Amino acid sequence: MLSRDQNDLLTRTGPDTLMGNLLRRYWAPFLQAEEIPEPDCPPVRVQLFGEKLVAFRDSKGRIGLIDEFCAHRGVSLWFGRNEECGLRCPYHGWKYDITGQCVELPSEGEDTGFRSRIKLKSYPCIEKAGLIWAYMGPPQLQPPPPALEWTEVAPEQRFVSKRLQECNYLQAMEGGIDSSHVSWLHSGELNRDPLFKGSKGNEYNEQDKMPIFDVKEFPGGLLIGARRNADEGRYYWRITPWIMPWYTIIPPRAGHPLGAHAWVPIDDDKCWSWSINYHPRRALTKAEVSAMHDGAGIHVKYVPGTFIPQANSGNNYLMDRAAQKSGRTFSGVEGIAMQDASLQESMGAVQDRSRENLCSTDNGIIMTRKLLMRAAKAAADGKKIPGLEPEVQHVRSVSIELPKEQSFAEGAKHGLYAALGTDPVSV
């Protein structure tokens, strides 16, 4: 369990908090590029780490992420006109460029110098892998662009979606780290979902519901190994990399694409849950992409025109008690993504972790919390923090059968650090 102070340290991500300062040291995905698809298109409201911002693409295609509110009288610039390389407040015509600098102030003459002193908060952005990323930390500490494997493959090898999650980022992320719940919560989906079925590993999940966890640190974060009994003399390992500060890569099943997640704080109570499927060697098939669009696997169907899941807290996640009783779904909620989200959100926006009782299958969660707290304190002390260098992000998940006497760190090394363009190691 965690004390209240430890829980606050881990979950409070606003300005000038220990964890907020740490997370701002990493590039954060916050929009799909198609949300601001062309120069001078309408701006988009953005909230990250509790900061209210607005994003826009200017006349030259450059991306701006600036304070949402005009420096004059506090009008939201979401109402602004995106024109001629700037966002103009419709109230009195004050205009800002992508750096937040006021470039036009119609009511004041240039000779006063007043306009040049008006500048809104702004953050640098990059566009990569069909997403827009922001860096919100100290400018002198800006790291290289992200180099996770799914950001490096060709567009036809990748599918990315996002959804609103109504709980803090840590709560959602811990669900992604926990492999033990798969044998229970997702048991009705493993042999039915088109992106999961057909794997020998599904049998091992069903037969052995008491996995043993072994967790190893690596320069980018943690390798979380969940071991189950396999055929005689062997163990079935599912190895989930957790990459600082909010990424996981889901161990593969059969020949299906790899899955990945990122959980990025909106504020202390909500986060964006990014879901990625990719294959490092081949293009995704039409059938796979169609299934992803339809909410299969780790993706969801939306309330039209939003990133809110169709099944959500407002409609009790469309729970079907008859399906739960019959065993079609173990929890009564359809779909792997919303089975996870419904239970993560059921804990409340921020779980009271002083009341929890952790056990051996929670070793990955325990070590993740320790590493995050250690990194937050290191950042505050001006020391090196893990996961920033592109080379340490080059890791892949693995599902594998190994002899009982062999450690997963050695036996799966060839799959964990495989070259781009090779097939995943999968069961």
Same domain, 35 and 168: no
Looking at the structure, do residues 207 and 277 belong to the same domain, yes or no?
Answer: yes
Identify whether residues 106 and 43 lie together within a single domain: yes
Residue 377 sits at φ, ψ, to 5 deg, of -70, -35
Please report which confidence band the pLDDT of residue 342 belongs to, taking 50, 70 and 90 as the band edges.
Answer: very high
pLDDT, residue 182, reads 86
> How remote is the C-alpha of 155 from its chain's centroid?
19
Q: Is residue 24 part of a domain?
A: no
Residue 77 lies in a domain: yes
Rounded Cα–Cα distance for residues 387 and 371 (Å): 11
Both 202 and 103 in one domain: the answer is: no
Buried b (16+ CB within 10 A) or exposed e, 347-368: beebbebeeeeeeebbbbbbbb
Q: Are residues 169 and 108 in the same domain?
A: no
pLDDT tens, position by position, 372-410: 999 999 999 999 999 999 999 999 999 999 999 999 999
What total of structural domains would you count in the chain? Answer: 2
Distance CA 34, CA 164 (A): 17
Assess whether 64 and 181 both reside in one domain. no
What pLDDT was estimated at residue 179?
Answer: 78
Is the pLDDT score of 226 beyond 90? Answer: yes
CATH number where 114 lies: 2.102.10.10
- Report pTM: 0.95
Q: What is the mean pLDDT of the chain?
A: 96
SS3 letters across the chain: CCCHHHHHHHHCCCCCCHHHHHHCCCCEEEEEHHHCCCCCCCCEEEEECCEEEEEEECCCCCEEEEECECCCCCCEHHHCEECCCCEECCCCCCEECCCCEEEECCCCCHHHCCHHHCECCECCEEEECCEEEECCCCHHHCCCCCCCHHHHCCHHHEEEEEEEECCCHHHHHHHHHCCCCHHHHCCCCCCCCCCCCCCHHHHHHHHCCCCEEEEEEECCEEEEEEEEECCCCEEEEEEEEEECCCEEEECCCCCCCEEEEEEEECCCCCEEEEEEEECCCCCCCHHHHHHHHCCCCCCCCECCCCCCECCCHHHHHHCCHHHHHHCCCCCCCCCHHHHHHHHHHHCCCCCCHHHCCCCHHHHHHHHHHHHHHHHHHHHHCCCCCCCCCHHHHCCCCEEEEEECCCCHHHHCHHHHCCCCCCCCCCC
Q: Which residues contact 112 (CB under 8 A, 6 or more apart)?
A: none
- Flag whether 1 is in a domain: no
pLDDT score, position 185: 86
Which stretch of 74-83, 156-165, 330-339 has the lowest confidence by average pLDDT? 330-339
Residues 297 and 408 grouped into a single domain: yes
Q: Max Cα separation, the chain?
A: 84
CA–CA dist 44, 422 (Å, integer):
38
Domain end point (choices 134, 163, 193):
134
Whether pLDDT at 139 is above 90 = yes
Q: What Å distances lie between residue 83 and 40, 42, 103, 253, CA to CA?
A: 6, 10, 12, 48
Task: Please write the tens of the pLDDT for every residue from 259-318.
Answer: 999 999 999 999 999 999 999 999 999 999 999 999 999 999 999 999 999 999 999 999
Q: What average pLDDT score do residues 184-213 get?
A: 90
Predicted pLDDT of residue 180: 84
294 lies in some domain: yes
Domain identity same for 129 and 223: no
Given 84, 108, 134, the domain boundary residue is: 134
CA 50, 53, 55: angle at the middle one, nearest 5?
Answer: 140
Shared domain for 235 and 95, answered yes or no, is: no
pLDDT of 238 strictly over 90: yes
Residue 116: inside a domain, yes or no?
A: yes
For residues 13, 19, 24, 25, the Cα torsion angle rounded to the nearest 10 degrees is -170
Is residue 394, in this structure, part of any structural domain at all? yes
Q: Are residues 223 and 324 in the same domain?
A: yes
pLDDT of residue 341: 96
**CATH code, 209:** 3.90.380.10
Q: pLDDT tens across 86-98, in order?
A: 999 999 999 999 9
Which of 108, 134, 160 finishes a domain? 134
| 98-134 pLDDT per residue, tens | 999 999 999 888 888 999 999 999 999 999 999 999 9
Q: 364 and 227: one domain?
A: yes
pLDDT at 212 over 90: yes
Report pLDDT for 195.
92
List, for residues 141-176, the tens digit of each pLDDT value: 999 999 999 999 999 999 999 999 999 999 999 998
Please check whether residue 314 lies inside any domain of the structure: yes
**In-domain check, residue 8:** no
Domain that includes residue 257, residue range:
149-416
Per-residue pLDDT tens over the stretch 1-54 = 799 999 999 999 999 999 999 999 999 999 999 999 999 999 999 999 999 999
CB–CB of 65/134 below 8 Å? yes
What is the structure's pLDDT at 28? 98
Together in a domain, 157 and 112: no
